[in-house]
Amino acid sequence: MKGLDRGFIVFVLVLAVCCFTQTAFAQKEEEQKKDKHETSYNLDEITVSGKGVKEPVTSPYAVTESSRLQTEVFTREEIEALHPESVWDIIEQVPGMEVTFQGRQHMDFSNMRGTGSYGVILDGVYVPSLDRLLKTLPVDAIESMTVVRDATALTLGPLTNFGSSTGSGNQGFVIIKTKRASKLEGGFVASYGSFHTEKEHVYQGSKIGNFDYRIAGTYNNTLGKTNWYNASRNASVLFRGGYTAPVFNADVLYYSSRGMREFQRSETVAPSVVKGKLYWGNVGELSNAKWKIDPMVSDMFAINLSKPWNDVHTTTFSYAYNNLIVASETTNFPDGSAKISVGDQNSRGQSANLRHVINARNNILKVGGQFLQAIAPDGSAPNIGRRSGEDMYGLYAQDEYHMLNDRLTIDGGVRVDKKHYENSPATGNSVNEWAKETYACALGASYKPGSIFTLTGRYAYTENSQSSYQASSDGTTLPPERRSRYEAGVLANIHPVFNPWLTLYYYDTKNQKVSSTGIDPYTGKKVSSYTDPFTGEEVNFVAADDVVTKGLEFGISGQILKHFSYRLQYTHVTTDNTDTNNSSPHHLASGRFSYKYKKFFANASLRYVSSYSRTLYDERGGYTRLDANMGYNFQIFDRDTRITLYGRNLGNKAYYTSGNGQYYDPGIQYGVELAYKFW
């Protein structure tokens, strides 16, 4: 493997640990003398309030009170309890989130509430190619994840598609914060499991006065299931540091990863048609395509600056740059003949955001502007070879007013984005043209009639253009979709043992992109989708139709006798378009259960996805997946140590979630993990 490898990462981390060992205990004593409560503002500061945790109003990631029911927060403790393999395992626990495994150049897709994708923000970095990042980002380095559903995040980023071929309008955002050191710390995490899967994670950090830093190196490798061709490896280094003071705050992120990934072989489940008759002889066969990404290189840099001028005014500025290099090639099983080089898929992007918050008496006003750029000189899947370049300029304003001693809040916001194309997304030719402006606006209210109930209501309107992985049957550009969204919710903090909540939503979408048919340019057949032989990507034929989407999300959470906690969630969604309705599951459910007694802990999580089918022989979903882990905390040489036994897909369910070639889950997996803290 070119670039960084495991030996280099281990060397860097061990060197860092050795350099700071001499000062460790002296600094530890000094820290114990300091007051444990910080008075200065921190960009990562969060407090517990109502449903999950709450950002300070001056934070770039804060949402309005009426959006709290649409916001799901995972703390570090909750992430550890899930013991996820990747970020996707966390996202699957969010109500209304559907995750599908594609097995190809774009490995995993997902959408919110069956109607759209979402944006990802990593420590201020707006990430366009989220499917690749979310599979490789080390979960051991994540401090928290916040998922904002629906058009409630006007100040975070554009709610129209940008810089990615996968997905149309953004339904919201996934905000990922990596760990920052608050004291001297260091240690490692190592695990080994099924399919010769290993992980090594080493970290070291410290806080010295107003300055802090944390560096972590991670190496993941798996040989994959025998004959499935689904091996992967990734090595990464992540640095997070900053300066925190009452008069000025700054933090910086640097993330670099190098890896490779094989494309899992698909299995045929539908019979083919030969001379007008069904032929079942190909059912159960594995694809002979031998795809591989090598290398897959990612680099990111971000800086966030915050200046509180006084108790009322705060200005923040952020800048981020990201670069992705992906090269892939394919051969055939079993002899590796007919080698085809698909070529590079290099892309890069940058973003800048300037925001000002006026936190006056009972009123919070946010205004700002944002710039985003995405460039793919060689194109991106599925449009390899078509140079693409996009710039987007956005302006936004959002105001929230509190009344009746904070029992009633009313908010409103508007966002305008204008996209500039350096190259045509259809041909790759230089065009240098501006697209029509897209708009998003939202109104919301939150009311607390007493100490138990919170009632919320929201209306939002958004516009989105056609995505590049969607094609009309005649090759024309379809009109932008215009969506009105209505939401209502109730949260009941009845008792620590029992806290239910409910959200109802109704989407009225004009010109929504729905499944259609067209001519496969490579076979000449009439199909609803086809696979580009040069990229392995699925291109969907779509048409524009007016669609109504209705759904509900319901959840219960609580804690029993300080030892047992639980969270149960259920989602139901339907649409009045037959093809769209058949292409997504109508029922999603998830649950998390945790038990702690002294030094022992045990956790379990489950995920249910109802069956759905696009064709008679293509039934997807229809499974219940159970993951679990248990462990014990103890000490070795007076240092905190944790050992964990884990299992995934304990029911050994064989399920798949995507068509045009079925990619089954590999089945039951298990392993052991050891975590050790130097300080």
Q: Give 364-415 pLDDT, tens digit per residue.
A: 999 999 999 988 777 655 455 556 678 999 999 999 999 999 999 999 999 9
Q: Which residues pair with 257 in a beta bridge?
A: 236, 298
Would you say 575 and 548 are in contact if contact means Cβ atoms under 8 Å apart? yes
Separation between Cα atoms, residue 628 and residue 606, nearest integer Å: 9
What is the number of helices (H) and of strands (E) in the chain? 5, 41
Quote the pLDDT of residue 368. 95
Q: What is the mean pLDDT of residues 199-216?
A: 97
Instruction: Decide if pLDDT at 603 tops 70.
Output: yes
pLDDT digits (tens, 9 = 90+) for 252-278: 999 999 999 998 888 888 787 787 788
pTM, 2 dp: 0.84
pLDDT of 394 reads 93
Count CA atoms closer than 13 A to 611's CA, side-chain side: 8
pLDDT tens, 382-393?
Answer: 455 556 678 999
The per-residue pLDDT for 136 is 85
Q: What is the DSSP letter of 327?
A: E
pLDDT at 405: 92
Residue 613 CB neighbour total at 10 angstroms: 14
pLDDT band at 498 (very low <50, low <70, confident <90, very high): very high
Strand, helix or coil at 66?
A: helix
Smallest CA-to-CA distance from 605 within 642, 568, 571, 632 is with 568
Rounded-to-10 torsion of CA 541, 478, 118, 102? 10
* Least confident range of 3-17, 166-180, 497-511: 3-17
Integer CA distances (angstroms), 366 to 9, 148, 394, 412, in order: 41, 18, 14, 11
- Provide the pLDDT for residue 130: 61
Burial class of residue 194 in the structure, from the number of CB atoms within 10 Å of its CB (0-12 exposed, 13-18 middle, 19+ buried): middle
* Mean pLDDT, range 21-50, rounded to an integer: 42
Predicted pLDDT at 590: 95
> Which residues are CB-neighbours of 405 under 8 A, at least 6 positions away?
none
Cross-strand partners of 645: 630, 672
Give the total residue count for the chain.
679
Class of domain 6-330+365-677: mainly beta
- Measure the CA–CA gap between 422 and 403, rounded to whole angstroms: 47
Q: Rounded to an integer, what is the distance from CA 466 to the centroid of its chain?
A: 22
Q: What is the pLDDT of residue 384?
A: 55
pLDDT score recorded for residue 96:
86
For 647, residues 6+ apart whose C-beta sits below 8 A from its C-beta are 627, 628, 629, 668, 669, 670
Range of weakest confidence among 18-27, 122-131, 506-515: 18-27
Band (676; pLDDT cuts 50, 70, 90): very high
Q: Encoding tokens for residue 18? A: 């050795």
At residue 98, the pLDDT reads 86
Which residue carries 């159960």 as its tokens?
Answer: 284
- The DSSP 8-state label assigned to residue 267 in this structure reads B
How far is it, in rounded angstroms, from Cα 83 to Cα 622? 24
- Name residues whose C-beta falls within 8 Å of residue 226's C-beta, 6 or more positions apart in sequence: none
Output the DSSP codes for 516-541.
--EE-TTT--EESEEE-TTT--EEEE
Q: 97-101 and 600-609 as β-strands: parallel, antiparallel, unpaired?
A: unpaired
Confidence of residue 527 (pLDDT cuts 50, 70, 90): confident
CB atoms within 10 A of CB 395: 13
Backbone torsions φ then ψ of 526, nearest 5 degrees: -85, 115
- How much is the pLDDT for 379? 61
Mean residue pLDDT across the chain? 83
Q: What is the model's pLDDT at position 46?
A: 47
φ, ψ for residue 98, nearest 5 deg:
-115, 125
What is the pLDDT at residue 131?
Answer: 61
- Report pLDDT digits (tens) over 137-169: 999 999 999 988 865 678 888 877 665 544 446
**In 3D, which of 176, 262, 208 has the Cα closest to residue 23?**
208
Average pLDDT over residues 592-600: 96
Rg (CA), the chain: 25
* Closest to 259 measured CA to CA, from 85, 132, 166: 132
Question: Which pLDDT score, from 0 to 100, does residue 167 have?
Answer: 41
Give the 3-state DSSP-derived string for 600-617, with helices as H, strands as E and coil as C.
Answer: EEEEEEEEEECCEEEECC
3-state secondary structure of 90: helix
State yes or no: pLDDT of 343 exceeds 70: no
Statement: residue 420 has pLDDT above 90: no
pLDDT tens figures, 461-478: 988 766 555 667 776 777
Which residues lie closer than 8 Å to 277 by C-beta, 6 or more apart?
none
Q: What gap in Å lies between CA 148 and CA 176, rounded to an integer? A: 11
Going from N- to C-terminal start, the domains of the chain cover 6-330+365-677
Return the number of other C-beta atoms located less than 10 Å from residue 561's C-beta: 6
Q: Which pLDDT tens digit goes with each residue over 2-29?
A: 444 544 344 344 434 444 333 344 444 4
Residue 486: the pLDDT is: 94
